[in-house]
Amino acid sequence: MKYFWWIILSVLPLLGRAQTAAPVEQVNVFLGSSGDHGQLSPAASYPFSMVSLGPQTYPNTHTGYEHLARKFLGFTHNRFEGVGCMGSGGNLLVKPFMGRQPQQTELLKAAEQAEPGYYSVSFTNGQKAELTVAQKFGVHHYSFPAGDPGLYFDLSHSFVKRFKQEQHTTEGTVLSGWIEAATTCDAGLYRLFYYLEINRPVQWETTGAHQLIARLSSSGSPAEVEVRVAFSSVSVAYAKAGLRRESFVALRQQSSQAWNALLNRVQVQGEPARTKLFYSMLYRTLQSPYVVSEPDGSYQAIDGSRQMSRMPIYNGWAVWDNYHTQLPLLSLVYPTEFQNIAASLANLYRFGKKDFATKHEPSPTVRTEHAIVVLLDAYRKGYKVDLRGIRDSLISEVNRLDYSHPDKALESSYDAWALAGILAELKDDKLSAQYRQKALGYRNYWRKDFADITQPDVDKLPARGMYQGTVWQYRWAVPFDVKGLITLMGGEAAYRQQLDNFFAGDFYNHANETDLQAPALYNASQQPWKSQALLHQLAVDTVVQHYFNDNSRGIDPYIGRIYQNQPQAYLRTMDDDAGAMSAWYVLTACGLMPACVGEPVYYLSLPLFEKLTLQVAPKKTLAIQVENYSPVRRYIQSAKLNGKPIERNWLTHQEIAAGGTLTLVAADTPNLTWGVQQQWISDGQAVK
């Protein structure tokens, strides 16, 4: 019996350690890295860094990698995680090889492992590669068996053949220069400067246009070779200055610590499998946008000019995709980073912002529609944004908005509403009223194209020239005026009935962002508990999904869970879109969903964990506790904020940022009376 208790006591500390594994240890970087199920990669990355050092396989996905592929073409230095249009990046390919010619070496994967900030793979021919990164800097470590080792460089390599031009020089063990390539969807151009250094003597050979070989001296013994490379958006000199001398092991540890520091801003307690999925999702929300300025403040603006800044400058935008979720999440839990991100977004207007990209981008980027909504959201949350300094540019942008298609009309109206809000904040009430009325003009478009849902094309994708969405899905896309939407539908009962029909008919599409706000819309009704149930189901339970981004309704649906901790993680054709979809999961897991980006309000639902702690400021936390917790419970019975009962189903950003304790009582069945008092419903006519 004594021996039995000794065993129990010796195991308890191990169990405790297992339950308190560091967040960085919980991340599965292979999630979403196979097929069209997320478009993610296991590349070694660093928080908000444009350097993403990872494998290039054949075949591959938008990030250059396919988990099921065995054949490797080499390793590239950047990729935009989770975006469409076949991706962006894939520059400066390096292939370690044996023998005289690179093509004679076939790199076939034998085993691989990865974690945030680190990737390694061993090949069947005895070679091995290890990669790690820091901010704008990375290290390759190659192990060669006995033979004649070499390194092949393809400076013209890029995803989807988007390479444009390059210049380079070699001197001793150094390769340096710049590479220019097209941004996502070929909308613009970016230029990256690099400085690469090999730790062993080499002989350089030019083997073709933009292609070189670095031959390493052979001793007939196994060899270890290290390649250090730094990048800059400004110049080769800045790239050279960014080259670091720490050991590979030290750099890997620093990268892991940097990731853990950010992931630890949200601490969760719950089921181990759900915890691992949560941190794997949170990780993806912290990869972009990228810091593109130098330590001294120098950066390249999007008009190609050299500028200076006192704050870090970010670039690499996918705002249309992630303004619903990722950017609001950053504003909640990463206020320091978000302050600089919001200011960088505003800064675009000073140098000729375009909806997609300019010809002088400092990094790969995607698109910036709805940036004006994000700026209003940031300002109303208390972030410092120089709205007055870009006022005329904001007005000019809104005056150019496209109303030519039904979806464009709704989205453009959202931006016009945001401009009205910004002008109101600037005390320009007359002009604000003008743009408020322009925004409310969406109602005419809505009556024309979205009111009648008996037409035969309302469930077709695409229809009526709309972008990746149906009439059913886009008709909810007026988050700034849900009060008006309810009126358009004939009152709250009709509004709820149409929401019921939408979800019961499986018309919702979680594979894209077009109707991403729809599950939370019951919060603006007398039945908020239906949103609580929907959000829980979409996050962790079985769903029926008819729509994908390459079809109309009619093929066999997908039946299963949307979010899974595996390479084929998401729905087919569902891109993570620069943290948009992973942030939706994180927000749902926290029980906080933006009610309307541009208004500092979050709707409440039941979190997916028994306890969460959000670091909302350097010395403030919001603890969210779920009493009567069960993984399958989805309804809120009651709520308290700092010990005081609250009957409303929403909190303001200021209440959350103040820290404290939010206590929710879970239930198996809905409380039909909770959350129906003091409702918050967006009102496009309201003057603020």
The percent of residues in the chain predicted with pLDDT above 70, rounded, is 97
C-alpha 443/C-alpha 480 separation (Å) is 12
The answer to whether residue 456 scores a pLDDT higher than 80 is yes
Tell me if the bond preceding 295 is cis, omega within 30° of 0.
no
Contacts of residue 300, Cβ cutoff 8 Å, sequence gap at least 6? 191, 233, 234, 292, 306, 307, 360, 362
550 with 462: CB under 8 angstroms? no
Q: Which fold has domain 29-261?
A: Beta-galactosidase; Chain A, domain 5 (2.70.98)
The alpha carbon of 59 is separated from its chain's Cα centroid by a whole number of angstroms, namely 24
Using alpha carbons, list the distances in angstroms from residue 359 to 81, 302, 308, 469, 529.
22, 8, 20, 30, 48
Residue 247 pLDDT: 97
Instruction: Identify the weakest region by mean pLDDT among 75-89, 326-340, 474-488, 552-566.
Output: 552-566
Average pLDDT of span 270-294: 98
Average pLDDT of span 390-413: 98
CATH 3.30.2080.10 fits 507-688, yes or no: yes
The percent of residues in the chain predicted with pLDDT above 90, rounded, is 93
Residue 271 pLDDT: 96
The secondary structure of 355-381, three-state, reads CCCCCEECCCCCECCCHHHHHHHHHHC
Q: What phi and psi values does residue 171 have, to the nearest 5 degrees?
A: -155, 110
Residue 549 pLDDT: 80
Ramachandran category for residue 105: left, alpha or beta (phi over 0 → left; psi -120 to 50 → alpha): beta
Q: Which amino acid is at 465?
A: G
Query: What are the tens digits of pLDDT across the range 480-507?
Result: 999 999 999 999 999 999 999 999 999 9
The domains of the chain are located at 29-261, 507-688
Average pLDDT of span 521-526: 98
Closest by Cα among 594, 598, 487, 604 to 536: 604
The alpha carbon of 245 is separated from its chain's Cα centroid by a whole number of angstroms, namely 31
Identify each DSSP E strand in 60-144 by its residue range: 71-76, 93-98, 107-115, 118-123, 128-134, 137-144
Q: 5 falls in which pLDDT band (50, 70, 90)? A: very low
pTM: 0.96
Query: What are the tens digits of pLDDT across the range 230-253?
Result: 999 999 999 999 999 999 999 999
Residues recorded for the chain: 688
C-alpha 417/C-alpha 565 separation (Å) is 39
The answer to whether residue 12 scores a pLDDT higher than 70 is no
Average pLDDT of span 155-165: 97
Average pLDDT of span 544-558: 83
Closest by Cα among 159, 163, 197 to 179: 163
Closest by Cα among 611, 594, 616 to 603: 594
582 with 284: CB under 8 angstroms? yes
The answer to whether residue 6 scores a pLDDT higher than 70 is no
Residue 2 pLDDT: 36
232 with 299: CB under 8 angstroms? no
Same fold, 29-261 and 507-688: no
The alpha carbon of 166 is separated from its chain's Cα centroid by a whole number of angstroms, namely 29
Average pLDDT of span 661-675: 98
Look up residue 268 and give its two tokens: 């969760």
3-state percent helix, strand, coil for the chain, nearest multiple of 5 = 30, 25, 40
